[in-house]
Structure 1
Amino acid sequence: MNKLIVDEMTPVTLVGGGHLGLEDLNEALRHAPVLVAADGGAGAALEQGHVPEAVIGDFDSLPEAVQNRLPAENLFHLPEQDTTDFDKALRSIRAPVVLGAGFLGARVDHQLAAFHTLIQPGRSPCILIGATELVFHVTRRIALPMAAGDVVSLFPMQPVTGRSGGLVWPIEGLQMCPTSRIGTSNRAVGPVWIEADGPGLLGIVPRHYLAALMQAIASPAPC
């Protein structure tokens, strides 16, 4: 059983050691002020003047000089090598939603591993912040106040079906699968809603919908 390290009633920012845009961390912290770092992400946080409340990982990318700048009680070493530091950190956090900064835009293999982690069961909902887009796992009905022409991409990490409204090409009746039919480069005709019949569907929407997406993911499920 995995041990919770961070248990919050408010959104959490999780920073990684990948590409971090100049405003990525600050924007995330405006929405989710509790800061946690996945391994080497601690160095990026310190460089921008922020001290993580917890640093979680196997520490193979956390230099000793960085560790020495952090309170010992904030360091949580998980030495197993079967999962990524993003996975180690995300499964150790319980929060209404986690904002992941520093996980997209660098190495492709790291991005693919991050997408794999997003769809794992038992994780807090997480939104990955990219340079222009947000990536999230569709685990419930998501409604966003999108404008006509906005790009909405859906990528199945495994076979999955679902329904949608407000898209140029609706997804109802489609069997999506990573080796056959995918749903990239769809477009909104106005406000959009999407739901999936099971796990495995990633949603990709413009970054300026971050606040609306957070609200949609973290709001209580309808009775």
Structure 2
Amino acid sequence: MLVGGGPVGASDLSQVLTIAPTIVAADGGAVPVIKAGLMPYAVTGDFDSLPKTLRDTLPDGLLHHTPDQNYTDFDKALRLIDAPVVVAVGCMGGRVDHQLAAFHTLVARCNHRCVLVGPEEVVFHCPKHIDLPTQVGDVVSLFPMARVTGRSDGLKWPIEGLDFAPDVFVGTSNRATGPSALHMDVPGMLVILPRRMLAQVTQGLADLPKPAQWPARAAQYTDPPQS
């Protein structure tokens, strides 16, 4: 579990703990973790939103200072975590710019499987192929962060033949006709599903075979030289 510095709902930590019991806090995300009586495995970030009084109570071995201002704390934390899937809370529902930055990171770090948990929905970057245990009538929204094409099974409005792009065509409020599946030709598509599907989506991403995963996009997202 990755806990960001945005709003964390009353049930967020307890629900996600049943799926992802190891906690990493991104900077100020340590505050709700500690308040809940939990101890993070690690705390990362530039520590500009981590109160010094709280920071001083944490063992030095938990603190991983990442001061690079070219990237968000969520982005830096995601790259430091080695796990089959990261389930992130505290990254949606707050400031719009922070939420958009988190969406950007999902695509920029498409080789990292990560699910963002919001108050009502979950969001993840679509792999090359994924089966979704949707039910009749479930909202399946598709939002492109780049030019994307693909195919679908089990959606009321199939996506084959559509040219998605953030400034051209988006897939808001599609509906499932039962179990569904998505097949993407290139990375860049975000999938938005009802929050009740969190555990199933997380397991589905964890079970992805290698051919269904996107490779790292090192050429486009190489860290700048450090002074």
Both structures adopt the same fold (TM-score exceeding 0.5): yes
User: Residue 110 of structure 2 contacts residue 187 of structure 2 at CA under 8 Å; is this kept in 1?
Assistant: no
CA distances 1:178-218 after superposition (whole Å, capped 9, x unpaired): 00100011000100111211111000000111111112111
Cα shift at 1:66: 1.3
Q: Does 1:97 align with 2:108?
A: no
Counterpart in the other structure of 2:140: 152
Q: Does 1:81 align with 2:66?
A: no
SS of alignment partner, residue 18 of structure 2: helix
User: Residue 145 of structure 1 contacts residue 212 of structure 1 at CA under 8 Å; is this kept in 2?
Assistant: yes
Stretches of 4+ aligned residues off by more than 4 angstroms? none
Instruction: Out of 175-184 and 65-74, give the one that drifted further.
Output: 65-74
Counterpart in the other structure of 1:165: 153
Matches within 5 A, 1:36-185: 36-121=24-109, 123-185=111-173
CA distance in 1, matches of 2:6, 2:123: 16
User: Residue 78 of structure 1 contacts residue 88 of structure 1 at CA under 8 Å; is this kept in 2?
Assistant: yes
Unaligned 5+ residue runs, structure 1? 1-12
CA distance in 2, matches of 1:123, 1:63: 32
Q: 1:222 to 1:123 in 2, by over 3 A?
A: closer
Unaligned 5+ residue runs, structure 2? 212-227
Cα shift at 1:71: 1.1
Percent of aligned positions that are identical? 54
Q: 1:32 to 1:149 in 2, by over 3 A?
A: same
SS of alignment partner, residue 158 of structure 1: coil
CA distance in 1, matches of 2:53, 2:62: 15
Aligned to 1:30, which of 12, 18, 23?
18
SS of alignment partner, residue 43 of structure 1: helix
Counterpart in the other structure of 1:10: none
Cα shift at 1:140: 2.8
Task: Report the TM-score, using the length of structure 2 for normalisation.
Answer: 0.90
User: Residue 30 of structure 2 contacts residue 50 of structure 2 at CA under 8 Å; is this kept in 1?
Assistant: yes
CA distance in 2, matches of 1:171, 1:220: 22
CA distance in 1, matches of 2:117, 2:11: 11
CA distance in 2, matches of 1:71, 1:16: 20
Q: 1:204 to 1:220 in 2, by over 3 A?
A: closer
CA distance in 1, matches of 2:66, 2:73: 9
CA distance in 2, matches of 1:201, 1:219: 19
Cα shift at 1:69: 2.1
User: Residue 110 of structure 2 contacts residue 125 of structure 2 at CA under 8 Å; is this kept in 1?
Assistant: no
Counterpart in the other structure of 1:3: none
Q: RMSD over aligned Cα, in angstroms?
A: 1.2
Aligned to 1:188, which of 157, 172, 176?
176
Cα shift at 1:73: 0.5
User: How many residues of Structure 1 are paired with residues of Structure 2 in the alignment?
Assistant: 211
CA distance in 2, matches of 1:162, 1:220: 18
Q: Does 1:15 align with 2:3?
A: yes
CA distance in 1, matches of 2:92, 2:210: 32
Cα shift at 1:220: 4.0
